[in-house]
Structure 1
Amino acid sequence: MTSSEQVLTGERADLVQALRRHRGFLRQTVDGLTDAQAAARTTVSELCLGGLIKHVAVTEKHWMLFAVGGAEAMESEPVDWAGQFRMLEGETLGGLLDAYARVAAATDELVATLDLDTAHPLPVAPWFEPGVSWSVRRVLLHVIAETSQHAGHADILREAIDGAKTMG
């Protein structure tokens, strides 16, 4: 049985279920949109729906690199800090959703195998307290919170496009 076929129970199942729920809200928010709608800035913010999908996927991927190998692994892949919040030339909503699905599947598989108590020092950055370490469990809670927060942002952006509400 591969880890993707394992039945998760207890804490691991709870973490994956919570993350899947909020990923689902985010995916539901962009359902039925065209690429142009997904790329549209509907508020004064730089955010667009396709950019939020991309950002959440990039963020989840990088935090899972951290969970496996610490700050060095997390920082091994560069991040386009400005471009991750918008759809760039040639990007499609479908392509961004496919990339997000691959990241999600990899995370779900890692949750089945990683020691949730393994901890790594956080990267050096002004927004992290120096010398603090996060466990894999804490990383997953952060990814859940990040996904949930951005699902709420997405709901506001979608409502500005066509009045649709994920939760309304």
Structure 2
Amino acid sequence: MTMRIGIISDTHRFTAAIDKAIPFLQDCDLIVHAGDNVDDGEYIEAMTDIPVVAVKGNCDFYSDPGNDEEIFTAEDKKIFVCHGHRYGIKYTLVDLYERALDLGANIVIFGHSHVPCYEEVKGVIFINPGSTSLPRGGSSKGLGILDIENGEINYERIKI
């Protein structure tokens, strides 16, 4: 069995950028929105008819309801989703790594920096798809696709 998860973050209400990402999300089983703006998750779900797990980011102080963190299991992998701003991710992944260990997470999905990241630290995989609308650090606009099949993890970042 395969689980395909689309990962998007830091859309900041730019629906034109989200619309460019939607064709790449159409064959996903689930979509994760890692914050800024959490309300964009509702738009994505309406446009794709695919369930969306979305968390609040630092620009979502006005949004209610919405959670700062989500945890779910996909194909026996425990996935922790947060925006990252509360863990100082622009400087280090140490605090986020500690939180992942506390939760027993295998995969951490986050945003905030607008810079793509895929890194494995002592068995924990960290994924930041970058920003769909406002990329930083010389990166391009994009999103991520995470495939989990028989315990194997495959990740691809897609430029839009």
State TM-score, norm by structure 1.
Answer: 0.27
Task: Report which of the two has the higher share of strand.
Answer: 2
Task: Report which of the two has the higher share of helix.
Answer: 1
State TM-score, norm by structure 2.
Answer: 0.28
Q: Which has the higher contact order (CA 8 A, sep 6+)?
A: 1
